[in-house]
Structure 1
Amino acid sequence: MFNEINKLSIIVPAYNEEKTILEVITLLEKIKLVNDIEKEIIIIDDHSKDKTAQLVSDYIAKNTDSPLIFFSQVMNQGKGAAIHKGIELASGNIIVIQDADLELVPEEINSLLSLYLKSPNQIVYGSRFLEDKHSKTNFIWHIMGNGFLTKLSNLFSGYRLTDMMTCYKMIPAATLKSLKLKEKRFGFEPEVTMKLSKIKSLKIHEVPITYIARNKEEGKKISWKDGMKVIWCVVRYRFGN
């Protein structure tokens, strides 16, 4: 089983992230993965209105040896849709999702990978709540909002997660590719969690991660309306497909 784990696909959905996209790419490329596992970085631009796509294209042109795959959506569809495309393009044995906004620390992907390698037939989430490693946090949304949504998800999934809405989800590629994912926006998080919970052979674990929150002025995109959609998705995908 261990011999089969030779490549990690890192999917980076991006929308209007011209301020951070190149730094994210640089940090991801610098990471030396545990066990010398190979990596591929898949950037999916969700039809940004700023210079995100151009910056990535220029970077690839100047760095032809970069392990970077780039795809630009022909229209804006949402974070979930960008992840769907990344899953389709991924060639690694394992997939993890990395936001393009630097709210998370790319080097901590190795924390998830180290735990994953102990038992490859599992899922690893990076939790912002296992330890107090977050800053600039909006208390109402992050602590109360995410806490409520995670508890609701646990009620229906049977998991004991502390952070269902986390970006860092490390999942076997074959498993993720087998799921018929539908949600094109932030409903991706509860949908994938609910559908994974139905695969009883898989175990789920969490590791603590660092979180540096952005506010709306800095580009934060999720809103209370998305929170309501998450509630709907938890119920919908617990009892349906």
Structure 2
Amino acid sequence: MTIEKLSIIIPAYNEARTIHLILDKIKTVTLLNDIKKEVIIVNDCSKDDTEGAVYHYKASNPDLDIQYFKHEVNKGKGAALHTGIAKATGEYLIIQDADLEYDPAEYNDLLKPVINGFADVVYGSRFMGSNPHRILFFWHTIGNRWLTFASNMFSNLNLTDMETCYKLFNTKLIQSIKLTEKRFGFEPEVTQKISRVPKIRIYEVGISYYGRTYDEGKKIGWKDGVRAFYCIAKYGMFKSK
């Protein structure tokens, strides 16, 4: 499989302190087969100076292809991803949080099954492989495993980490799917809908995880977990479009 460009979708909300750090990591990554990088940042109406940080970085690093978009009102992570996905021009795209929990150096691990002609979609799992994983919240881990288990029941997949940020998609494929969840319901919705695509080839690879505490800026909470269960039922059990 020949890929000329990878689109990297970054939803950003109040990430002025760290967004330059993740962009530095993306900039230094050399992708397999000299694949070009297109970085698409969607600022979801941040209250801090995320916009200023992006403009400063963009001006200082003209060799990195950065496309910047802004929501005039806060709509949620899922809505920011919808915007980014619609704007992507690479043959494949990957989702990247603006924090430092996931390592762009592992893009190539997700690309390999695609380049080798095996996959259309690749999930990066925090629960498999021997890469480093920060030890944090017991109940978050239990919640993630239960959400993945419930999702697998309805999708008939055997994923180990449905809630992972790192999801690599064929761009035309994901652009053809109607996505509606505006917040963290994006993960179960996209998983259920992707699983129903005829002859879809989904792979999973182990990745590292450098999680944040709430003091360090983590945003997802228990209410998002409840919503995720609702979305699994809505898009899995009832196969809502």
| TM-score under structure 2 length normalisation | 0.96
Q: 1:1-241 residue pairs with structure 2 within 5 A?
A: 2-3=1-2, 5-119=3-117, 121-131=119-129, 133-141=132-140, 143-238=141-236, 239-241=239-241
Greater mean deviation of Cα atoms: 156-165 or 36-45: 36-45
2:215 aligns to what SS in structure 1?
helix
Cα distance in structure 1, aligned partners of 2:62 and 2:34: 21
| Residues 136 and 214 in structure 1, CA contact (< 8 A), matched pair in contact too | no
The amino acid of 1:43's aligned partner reads I
Cα distance in structure 2, aligned partners of 1:137 and 1:45: 27
List per-residue Cα deviations over 1:48-74 (Å, max 9, x = no partner): 111111110122223333211111111
The amino acid of 1:70's aligned partner reads Y
RMSD (CA atoms):
1.2
The amino acid of 1:115's aligned partner reads P
Cα distance in structure 2, aligned partners of 1:55 and 1:134: 28
List per-residue Cα deviations over 1:147-189 (Å, max 9, x = no partner): 0000000000000000000000001000110010000100000
Count of matched residue pairs: 238
List per-residue Cα deviations over 1:99-121 (Å, max 9, x = no partner): 11110111111110112212265
* Structure 1: stretches of 5+ with no match in the other structure: none
Structure 1 residue ranges, 4+ long, deviating more than 6 angstroms after superposition: none
The amino acid of 2:232's aligned partner reads V
| Residues 45 and 53 in structure 1, CA contact (< 8 A), matched pair in contact too | yes
The amino acid of 1:227's aligned partner reads G
2:97 aligns to what SS in structure 1?
coil
Cα distance in structure 2, aligned partners of 1:184 and 1:213: 23
Greater mean deviation of Cα atoms: 208-217 or 185-194: 208-217
Deviation at 1:196, TM superposition (A): 0.2
The amino acid of 2:225's aligned partner reads G
Identity, in percent, stands at 47
| Residues 123 and 169 in structure 1, CA contact (< 8 A), matched pair in contact too | yes
Greater mean deviation of Cα atoms: 107-116 or 57-66: 57-66
Cα distance in structure 1, aligned partners of 2:166 and 2:9: 10
The amino acid of 2:73's aligned partner reads M
2:11 aligns to what SS in structure 1?
strand
| TM-score under structure 1 length normalisation | 0.96
Cα distance in structure 2, aligned partners of 1:86 and 1:153: 24
Cα distance in structure 2, aligned partners of 1:232 and 1:205: 25
